[in-house]
Amino acid sequence: MKYLLMIPLLFGILYAVNLNDILDNATQKNLMNQAIEKEGRALASKNLADTQTNPLTYNQSLARANGIGISGYEHEVSLSKEFKLGNIQSLEQKQNRLNNEAHLIEQEKYLVSFDNRLKNLYHQYCLDVKYVRSFQESYNNMTKLYVKKKKAFKYGEIAKTELLQLKFEKNRLKISLDNLSREEESSRVQLLSLTTLDNNEMLSCQDTYPIVQELSLETDSFQISQKAHDKRIESTQVGLKRYAKKLESIEVSMAYSKELETDIYTLGVSIPLNLSSNKSQNERAALMYQSSALALQNEQNIADKKYETELLKSRLSRNFRSIVAQEQNIDEYKNNLLPLMKKSYDYAESSVLEYLLSQHKLHTLQQELLEKQKTYYATLFQLYSISEIKETR
């Protein structure tokens, strides 16, 4: 019979929603991914548009000539088109594409932060589940005690005031338990509402991150920022190549004109002489200054992130020590003091009020532990977001 009762529990654990299910089915994350994809396509199309040469130009004119001895109409038709020489166009496209890629890479930070927000909500919920179970155990113990003392009152072994105090405490615990259960259920539904999963799904809570003192971050910390920075630096290098060209473009024109009785055909080539302008030198100087500024900004950004991560790691270590101390305190209280208080109360050596106060103290200690654990996970996932780490277990 015992094994038959365990089957539904095991079935629920196996088919409950885990953290990966939450992350994979996050509605907002899917929308963010689609938005990034659409923005990438828009930037790619804009890049092609911005780097295209001007369209073919068509000109037509009609004139009236009135001269001495001869007069008539004159007209002209011409076509002209600009052509970029060598690989100028491909260099311009590559320069823009690298900057666009850097921008899109940085959008991943929002995805990482959103993932860590969901992870934190998942862990906060699982802590509430654990706390509610502990509170349920306290309520069950109080119910058993009340039933026992009710029989004692029936046989005149205790006063009615003592029984009423126990009843009041039992009812108070029941109200608190119901409130905690409703809050737990509300947290579960709210978390699932951020996904495409059914709100009736149960959460596993078998895959929570462990609470540890020393956290070793992976070697790929800040890689999103670094990859975006590398793309921008590469873009400036491509720009330097682009503005090192002596000749950038030519314009070819063809025309036909009829001047009175004469047909005239014209073929022309227009070549911009960069040597006559300082534009290319100034563009190259701007790119070199930009490259230096990007390097300094990235160095400062990474330094700030490292400093902040060290602060958060130090806070995590303090949280861990506080949690361990609180757990030890609770174990000491439950294993030593509470049994003595219960024994003293059973033998009428202490009052019911003293016994209930000892129970209240346990609940206070457990609630303090819950808050410390919640603070630990909130700090942990804040650390992962700042470190730009996608997956860490």
Residue type, 200: N
d(CA 355, CA 345): 7
Q: Report the range of poorest mean pLDDT among 134-143, 167-176, 219-228, 373-382.
A: 219-228
- Cβ-based burial of 229 (10 A; exposed 0-12, middle 13-18, buried ≥19): buried
Examine the pLDDT at 71 and tell me if it is beyond 60.
yes
CA distance 89 to 94: 9
Looking at residue 280, its pLDDT comes to 83
| Separation between Cα atoms, residue 390 and residue 388, nearest integer Å | 6
Q: Over the range 29-52, which residues count as b (16 or more CB within 10 Å of their CB) and which as e?
A: beebeeebeeeeeebeeebeeebe
- Confidence (pTM): 0.85
Strand locations in 5-131, DSSP E? Answer: 57-66, 71-84
Quick one: tokens of 123? 């862990």
pLDDT band at 256 (very low <50, low <70, confident <90, very high): confident
Backbone dihedral angles phi then psi of residue 251, each to the nearest 5 degrees? -120, 125
Write the pLDDT tens digit of every residue in 180-209: 999 999 999 999 999 999 999 999 999 999
Could you tell me the pLDDT band of residue 78, with boundaries at 50, 70 and 90? confident
Give the list of residues 6+ apart from residue 309 with CB closer than 8 angstroms, or none: 217, 221, 383, 386, 387
Number of neighbours of residue 222 by Cβ within 10 angstroms: 19
Residue 251: pLDDT band by 50, 70, 90 thresholds?
Answer: confident
Write down the domain spans for the chain: 12-73+86-249+275-387
Task: Report the pLDDT value the prediction gives residue 11, as an integer from 0 to 100.
Answer: 43
Give the separation between CA 364 and CA 353, rounded to whole angstroms.
16
**pLDDT score of 125:** 97
Q: What is the mean pLDDT of residues 70-80?
A: 77
pLDDT at 375 over 50: yes
What is the structure's pLDDT at 252? 85
pLDDT score of 265: 84
User: Which pLDDT band, with edges at 50, 70 and 90, does 9 fall under?
Assistant: very low
Query: Stretch 282-291: mean pLDDT, rounded?
Result: 92
Long-range contacts of 89-96 (CB under 8 A, 24+ apart): 89/51, 89/52, 89/53, 91/238, 91/239, 91/241, 91/242, 92/50, 92/51, 92/242, 93/47, 93/48, 93/51, 94/235, 94/238, 95/235, 95/238, 95/239, 95/242, 96/47, 96/50, 96/51, 96/235
* pLDDT value for 4: 42
d(Cα 134, Cα 145) in Å, to the nearest integer? Answer: 17
Encode pLDDT of 82-108 as tens digits.
Answer: 888 878 888 989 999 999 999 999 999
Q: How confident is the model at residue 304 (pLDDT cuts 50, 70, 90)?
A: very high
Per-residue pLDDT reduced to its tens digit, 11-50: 445 579 999 999 999 999 899 999 999 999 999 999 888 8
Write down the pLDDT at residue 7.
41
Q: What is the pLDDT of residues 142-170, one digit of tens each?
A: 999 999 999 999 988 889 999 999 999 99
Arithmetic mean of pLDDT, 236-247: 87
Neighbours of 178 (CB within 10 A): 11
DSSP 62: E
Q: Give the β-pairing of 57-66 and 262-270.
A: unpaired
Name the strand (E) or helix (H) holding 273.
Answer: none
User: Residue 112's closest CA among 23, 172, 228?
Assistant: 23
Q: Does 218 have pLDDT greater than 50?
A: yes
What's the average model confidence in pLDDT over 232-261?
85
| Class for the domain spanning 12-73+86-249+275-387 | mainly alpha
- Mean pLDDT, rounded, for 322-342: 94
Distance of CA 181 to the CA centre of its chain: 29
Higher per-residue confidence, 215 vs 178: 178
Is the four-CA dihedral 107, 111, 112, 113 of positive or negative sign? positive
